[in-house]
Structure 1
Amino acid sequence: MTTHMIVLNGTKPPLSMNQRLHHQVKARITWQLRDEVYIEAKRQRLPRGVPHVTVTLHYRPARNGVRDADNLVATLKPCCDALAKGTPKYPGYGLVEDDTPQWMTKTMPVIHPAEKGRPGLLWLEIICSESQ
């Protein structure tokens, strides 16, 4: 079992379940997230064709407050899409064959307490295992 980490750009989640964005704006943000994760996975030379992975999105906000972890799922989804093999029209990295439960477990995002004087931070924790 190996663990990898991908730190995302930005200090807060770019997508939220509560946002009401124009579909073109949402699509642009989604593609930016996918590209960012794909490029970082390639830069880190993550393995390809792994039997199973568990992916968790972590968020440490700049300030403490009441936040709902469910809202972060909108940011997690395009990240997971980028890690899976994808299709010819929407290619992915190929860490696993697909982002379905057979190959990928997506855990509920984790919100960490803010740390005084530190900016917000988003990162993916990717645990590669031999089987589910």
Structure 2
Amino acid sequence: MKKKMMLCLVFMFFATVAYAEWQVDFLEKYKKEGIDQAVIVAIQQGALPVDIVEHGLKLEGLNPQNLVKALYCAGANGADITEAAQQYGISDMIVAAGFKKATEECSDQIADAQAYTPVASFYSGVPGVVTGGGTYSDASPSGFTQ
């Protein structure tokens, strides 16, 4: 029993050290290379978007929109980003603006490219009656008569 408890304590110690390590690296990377690189390294070290948002908002002078953009560019899931933003009071407008900025700057790296696609499609419907003898099923010009 003592061995199991000791093993659990050792595991918790190393997990805590690893968790704290990404926070130190995050701050150092932010100061040296900017928020984009800091977020990439944090995600590679296993940090979750909610943790990155929590610590990112504490950074002096960082615009939350740039934090959201960096999360998208680092490949974080859009639903996780939105959930973290809501939890820490980042408005939907800022999240949408960050997503737009990410699609402009790093669209090939975005994991959730459909994050802000409109729900309703703008399908125009079945073609109507065409003058000149066409029917409802005519969907191409070859079906029209002159």
TM superposition score normalised by structure 2: 0.29
TM superposition score normalised by structure 1: 0.31
Which of the two has greater helix per residue? Answer: 2
Which of the two has greater strand per residue? Answer: 1
* Pair member with larger Rg: 2
The answer to which structure, 1 or 2, has the higher relative contact order (CA under 8 A, 6+ apart) is 1
